[in-house]
A and B are shown apart, each in its own frame.
Chain A
Amino acid sequence: MLSTKASRDSHGQDSSYFVGWQEYEKNPYHDVRNPTGIIQMGLAENQLSFDLIESWIARNPDAVGLKKNGASMFKELALFQDYHGLPAFKNALVKFMAEIRGNKVKFDPNKLVLTAGSTSANETLMFCLAERGDAFLLPTPYYPGFDRDLKWRTGVEIVPIHCSSSNDFQITMPELEKSYQEAQRLGLKVKGVFITNPSNPLGTTMTRDELNHLISFSMAKNIHIVSDEIYSGTAFDCPKFISIIEALMDRHLENTDIWSRIHIVYSLSKDLGLPGFRVGMIYSNNETVVSAATKMSSFGLISSQTQYLLSRMLSQSKFTSNYMEKNRKRLRKRKEMLVSGLQSAGIKCLKSNAGLFCWVDMRHLLSSQTFEAEEELWKNILYGVRLNIPPGSSCHCSEPGWFRICFANLSEGTLKAAMKRIKNFVDHNYQEMACDQRSTFYKWLSKILSNNHESDRY
């Protein structure tokens, strides 16, 4: 009676990423009301800089009241449903995006398409670039939501580009080529590569080498590059963030083929910490894509009220530069807190310079280097330690033992409580293992392994 979609099982909803979230909702931690509840460390939300936005709002009552120079804008905004978007908002957005990239790149508001969140932007791009059954190559590990956002209604397939810890999960040419061959073996037409830069869940920005590999590869195969840069404003440390457009410009490829096959996705959910506002966008050098995506955005327009409010906020350079600076500082500080907390429990993280999370190495805590052992550890941490931290397998990581831990969606106090719980868990875990004959060998082995990566950890 219903569509196949409705009758089928939930699309990817049984992944550990979502199960953990559901468990948290059943028993959420609160420092006073529920101190033994599950602490949410699986949500990449930036709650560190609300105060800056609140003080802006307090200073700008007109923007909230939908007024301009005292006169009401209400009527125009109430009627405004043009899918081209509010011009003032698009102008403010391109200015903000350029600022994030150190003004090395200039964006054209006419190439910007507004959507209700980057979730909608990603899906719309797939509808515009690929047919049902076509494929996009994605480096692993990747954000679990892509399995749903890119594939569900579009019918597009994802073929992974396997990245390994041996080189800090960077994309290599051989792996790109391998995944392309794999797609061919599966009879799938590859339409492009989809990257997230800065990466989720790694928290790292792509190196220039990686970007160059990607560009050369895409030129050779004649395919698109979609660069999801929603964490671009959270790059708080060096090496600095390089946008795909900047990489292309540095190679003087502006007037070539590949230029019109570059598409950027952005959103204000992470950088400004406003996921509830549902503000996303597609930036494309391809006229057809811009035109088609603009019309498709009717399925998810941003409220004109929100567009107006944010256009006022983002057009004030003083606010944006102050916000970006403070936000980055707070993120760096919070990340360092997480890293040192984990370190005291003998747990190392991948060196990261961006994002709202760390990619944590818990391989030495696994009973065996298998995904079953990883799942076992995840369950212990979720139900025993009562921390929700998504395991690497939910992000399609090819090596077991890695976990993503978020640090910007909880207060300092809660983070400290979480670190305490982890330390207790690890101490207890190691104590048990010390009694086991096998564990001596295992400890030696993990020491060897961790020594090999000394330079990339802290």
Chain B
Amino acid sequence: MTQPQTRDEQPTNPTRQKSTGMRLIVPLQGIVQGRGGLILGTLIPCALFYFFQLYTKRNRGNSSNTPSNPPSPSSSSPNLAELPRTSSRLSLFSRVGSSGPVSVSGRASLIARENDSPYYIGLEKVSKDPYDKERNPDGIIQLGLSENRLCFDLIEKWMVENVREAMVGRDGEHLSINGIAAYQPFDGLMELKVAVAGFMSQVMRKVVSLDPSQIVLTAGATPAIEILCFCLADHGNAFLIPTPYYPGFDRDVRLRTGVELIPVHCRSADNFLLSVTALEQAYNQARKRGVKVRGILISNPSNPVGNILPRETLHNILVFAQEKNIHIICDEIFAGSVYRGEEFVSMPEILMEEFDKNRVHIIYGLSKDLCLPGFRVGVIYSYNKNVLALAKRLTRFSSISAPSQRLLISMLSDTKFIEEFIKTNKQRIQKLHHSFVDGLKQLGIQCIESSAGFYCWANMSELISSYGEKGELDLWDKLLNIAKVNVTPGSACHCIEPGWFRCCFTTLALEDIPVVMKRIRKVAETCKSLS
């Protein structure tokens, strides 16, 4: 007898079920027609067959759950027809794999696997063998993480003088933890929003003053971007994004929201600046494919190139968005690192002109400009009341820890310290940038002229053996394993032109630069001699 079909016990082979059905009918026919020989000849082997099936089915049910094996798309399943509850590819794989013992979600299987992006592989390698001038001079030098270590002395000094009072308030004469222990508003304390609004305004050269009630605080910029995606788009919708872009967006935007990223390729001929023509093209292509574009995701200052969008380009992007009735998410997390005299125009500034503000949302955070990635502070700044209301509710999943909020309220409210800090920070970044770019120049490696960020966008296409992604990855590998320098290859950032690399220099001290250049020179010379 066949087992009753439940959704849990999906057979792997639908045709097999049909044949067992047939085998039931034949002996029954024999019984009805009174052919004893038929009964003996067919019933007994059939009975044996059924018991064998029962036995194997039971054992399959008890076999160890293999959640770590990614579901294979080759086994067919009758469930495929029922699928479109969702159109996600991830869920497709998992349904196919779910015939058999219960598994984890397709999402989990996918993300649990070792990440094969060079961006993550490089970071992993450095963590195992990090360079230290004294303790590990042969270790790998980290140029793949946009982290700013140039101004810790300033913050540390402030901390030593202020942290205790900042963190734990005083209730009369006694220490009081009541204020920070209890439930806080999930989207952050109002005092911190006020302090952050003030800080952002200072960073944006005080051209605009920002409204704290338009701020939602999150545990880092990573959840900020995800939350905005949940607010603005549905599963299967898409955002247009200029390339090259920060590799983390692939995870932040796509992983759990099911929102697609459609690259809008920028080229070296345009200094990798976004053009509206390219936007228009990408938008139309998406429409042809039946994909609904909900918005554009830009970074200004951009990562990994480090340039800033001119006023005119920002204006044109806004016009485009208005025309197509889509949103703009502008990640301005590096706004405070603009070291060149060039004019950085922030979104709030350009929105002072006549534009529909409801479609513009800004991402910010304290990880870059205040060098505090460990404290997890991200910002969504939006003009759209509905988006703010929903984002607020979603921050319950990503709230900032109260002691850190208290500490930062105190630090950011010290406007004198902050002003000094912003100024010194820019000076140090600029100095290091100059020195680093010069060093590369002497090796014959040119960089895009950049004005912000903790990195430079270097053209190493002359060093790659074959002009393509493979050649680029070969060079990346040599730099990582021979020169022992971790840089981020352009392909990890979806750059359409091979040979470009992002090199972060703010994890270095000035005296480390000659060491870096010496190591790169070794590999560069080998590559040149081979080509």
* Given A50-B177, A65-B164, A300-B223; A257-B183 close (CB under 8 Å): no
Name the segment of A130-138, A352-360, A389-397, A430-438 touching the other chain: A130-138
Q: Is the CB of B102 within 8 A of A224?
A: yes
Query: Known contacts A66-B159, A80-B374, A131-B94; is A58 also within 8 Å of B108 by CB?
Result: no
With contacts A57-B177, A300-B398 known, is A81 near B373, CB below 8 A?
A: yes
User: Which residue, B67, B181, B252, B390, has most C-beta atoms of chain A within 10 A?
Assistant: B181
Which chain A residues border B13 with CB–CB below 8 Å? none
The minimal Cβ–Cβ distance linking B12 to chain A, given in whole angstroms, is 15
Residue B509 lies at the interface, judged by CB distance under 8 Å to chain A: no
Cβ contact of A72, chosen from B98, B160, B367, cutoff 8 A? B160
Interface string of A179-206 (1 = CB under 8 A from B): 0000010010111100000000000000
CB-based contact A276/B91 at 8 Å: no
Q: Total number of A-B contacts with CB less than 8 angstroms? A: 260
State whether A295 touches B111 (Cβ < 8 A). yes
Q: In the complex, what residues of B have CB within 8 A of residue A406's CB?
A: none
Asked if A119 and B397 make an inter-chain contact with CB atoms under 8 angstroms apart, the answer reads yes
Within 8 A of A (CB), among B138-153: 147, 149, 152
A274-302 residues with Cβ-Cβ distance < 8 A to B are: 274-279, 286-289, 291-293, 295-296, 298-302
Closest approach, in angstroms, between the C-beta of A317 and any C-beta of chain B? 21
B271 contacts the other chain (Cβ, under 8 Å)?
Answer: no
- Is A79 an interface position by the 8 A CB rule? yes
Chain A contacts for B288, CB-based, 8 A: none
Return chain A residues, CB-CB under 8 Å to B374.
Answer: 77-81, 303-305
B277 → chain A, closest Cβ, in Å? 25
CA gap between A274 and B394 in the complex, in Å: 20
Interface residue? B214 (CB, 8 A): no
CB <8 Å contact, B6 and A184:
yes
Does A380 sit at the interface, judged by CB under 8 A? no
- B399 lies within 8 A of A291 (CB): no
Chain A residue contacts of B426, Cβ below 8 A: none
Q: B61, A222: Cβ atoms under 8 Å? A: yes
Name B107's closest neighbour in chain A (CB-CB): A127
A6-14, A238-246, A365-373, A414-422: which one contacts chain B? A6-14
Q: What bracket does the count of chain B residues touching chain A fall in?
A: 35 or more
Which of B17-25, B201-209, B329-337, B402-410 makes up part of the contact surface? B402-410
Q: Are B183 and A275 in contact (CB under 8 A)?
A: yes
A147 at the interface (CB under 8 A from B): no
User: A136 CB to closest chain B CB, in angstroms?
Assistant: 12
Q: Which residues of A contact B387 (CB under 8 A)?
A: 2, 6
Min C-beta distance of B258 to chain A, whole Å: 9
Residues A291 and B222 in contact, CB atoms below 8 Å apart: no
Chain B residue with Cβ nearest A132? B86
Residues of the B chain whose Cβ atoms lie less than 8 Å from the Cβ of A78: 152, 155, 371-375
Q: Are B67 and A260 in contact (CB under 8 A)?
A: yes
Minimal beta-carbon separation of A47 from chain B (angstroms): 7
Contacting pair B375 A304 (CB below 8 A)? yes
**Chain B residues closer than 8 Å to A3, beta-carbon distance:** 230-234, 237, 294
Query: How distant is B454 from chain A, measured CB to nearest CB, in Å?
Result: 13
Chain B contacts with A in 85-122, Cβ cutoff 8 A: 85-86, 88, 91, 94-95, 98, 101-102, 104-109, 111-112
User: Chain B residues with Cβ under 8 A from A187's Cβ?
Assistant: 7
A388 within 8 A of B: no
Chain B residues within 8 Å of A61, by CB: 164
Question: Given the known A-B contacts A301-B376, A305-B375, are A291 and B397 also in contact in the complex, defined by CB atoms under 8 Å?
Answer: no
Question: Which of the listed residues A78, A190, A222 has the most CB atoms from chain B within 10 Å of its own CB?
Answer: A78
Cα–Cα, bound, A301→B222 (Å): 10
Which among B167-175, B340-348, B412-420, B430-438 touches the partner chain? B167-175
A13 adjacent to B102 (CB under 8 Å): no
Partner of B393 from the list A11, A80, A298 (CB cut-off 8 Å) is: A11
Please, which residues of chain A bring their CB within 8 A of the CB of B237? Answer: 3
Most chain B beta-carbon neighbours within 10 Å: one of A47, A192, A279, A304: A304
Least distance between B504 CB and chain A CB atoms (Å): 13
Cross-chain contact A278 with B397 (CB below 8 angstroms): no
A43 interfacial contact with B, CB 8 Å: yes
The answer, yes or no, to whether B401 is at the interface (CB within 8 Å) is: yes
- Are the C-beta atoms of B65 and A261 separated by less than 8 Å? yes
Query: Interface code B55-71, partner A: CB below 8 Å = 1, 0 otherwise?
Result: 00000011011011000
Please tell me if the beta carbons of A129 and B404 are within 8 angstroms of each other in the complex: no
Chain A residues whose C-beta falls within 8 Å of the C-beta of B182 in the assembled complex: 45, 47, 275-276
B260 CB within 8 Å of chain A: no
Whether B102 contacts A133 by the Cβ 8 Å rule is no
Cβ–Cβ contact B373 & A5, under 8 A: no
B85 touches A133 (CB 8 A): yes
Q: Which residues of A contact B235 (CB under 8 A)?
A: 132
Q: Check A257/B64 contact, CB under 8 A, given A74-B155, A153-B256.
A: yes
User: Is B255 close to A, CB under 8 A?
Assistant: yes
Q: A57-B175, A276-B184, A302-B401 are in contact. Are A130 and B105 (CB under 8 A)?
A: yes
The answer to whether A123 has its CB under 8 Å from any CB of chain B is yes
The smallest beta-carbon distance between B122 and chain A, in angstroms, is 15
Chain B minimum-CB-distance residue to A81: B373
Report Cα–Cα, A132/B294, bound state, in Å: 22
Q: How far is the CB of A218 from chain B (nearest CB, A)?
A: 10
A160 within 8 A of B: no
- Contact in complex: A129, B105 (CB < 8 Å): yes
Q: How far is the CB of B157 from chain A (nearest CB, A)?
A: 10
Chain B residues with Cβ below 8 Å from A257 are 62, 64-65, 101
Scoring A131, A132, A257 by chain B CB atoms within 10 A of each residue's CB, the highest score goes to A131
Asked if residues A6 and B402 are in contact (CB atoms below 8 Å), the reply is no
State how many angstroms separate the Cβ of B191 from the closest Cβ of chain A: 14
Q: Which chain A positions have C-beta within 8 A of B384?
A: 2
Distance between Cα atoms of A293 and B234 in the complex (Å): 23
CA distance A298 to B220 in the complex (A): 9
8 Å CB contact of B107 from A5, A50, A128: A128
**Inter-chain contacts of B255 with A (CB < 8 A):** 296
For the complex, is A454 an interface residue (Cβ under 8 Å from B)? no
Proximity string of chain A (124-166) to chain B, C-beta cutoff 8 Å, 1 when within and 0 when not: 0001111111000000000000001100010100000000000
B223, A292: Cβ atoms under 8 Å? no
Q: Is the CB of B407 within 8 A of A289?
A: no
Is B72 located at the chain interface by the 8 A CB criterion?
no
Indicate whether A273 reaches chain B with its CB closer than 8 angstroms. Answer: yes
Residues on A with C-beta less than 8 A from B61 are: 222
> Do A292 and B111 have beta carbons less than 8 Å apart?
yes
Take A66-B159, A133-B86, A305-B374 as given contacts and tell me if A2 and B152 are in contact as well, using a CB distance cutoff of 8 Å: no
B163–A116 CB distance below 8 A: no
**B472 interface residue (CB < 8 Å to A):** no
Q: Do the beta carbons of A309 and B403 come within 8 Å of each other?
A: yes
In angstroms, Cα B8 to Cα A187, docked, is: 11
> Do B376 and A81 have beta carbons less than 8 Å apart?
yes
Are the C-beta atoms of B386 and A223 separated by less than 8 Å?
Answer: no
Q: Does B369 contact A (CB under 8 A)?
A: no
A37 CB-CB contact with B under 8 Å: no
Within 8 A of B (CB), among A304-327: 304-306, 309
Residue interface mask B221-250, A partner, CB < 8 A = 1: 011001000111111010000000000000
* For the complex of A and B, 8 pairs with smallest distance between CB atoms: A276-B402, A304-B374, A292-B108, A291-B112, A303-B401, A128-B108, A303-B404, A292-B112
Q: Mind listing 15 A-B residue pairs with CB under 8 Å? A: A65-B163, A79-B149, A119-B396, A123-B397, A128-B107, A132-B88, A153-B397, A184-B7, A190-B8, A223-B102, A288-B108, A292-B108, A292-B109, A299-B219, A303-B375
Residues on A facing B (Cβ under 8 Å):
1-7, 10-11, 13, 43, 45, 47, 50, 53-54, 57-58, 61, 64-66, 72, 74-75, 77-81, 116-117, 119-120, 123, 127-133, 148-149, 153, 155, 184, 187, 189-192, 221-224, 257, 260-261, 273-279, 286-289, 291-293, 295-296, 298-306, 309
20 further interface pairs, Cβ-Cβ under 8 Å (given A78-B372, A288-B112, A302-B376): A1-B325, A3-B231, A3-B234, A4-B234, A74-B159, A78-B152, A127-B107, A131-B107, A149-B397, A223-B102, A257-B101, A292-B104, A296-B255, A298-B220, A299-B256, A300-B398, A300-B399, A302-B401, A304-B375, A309-B403
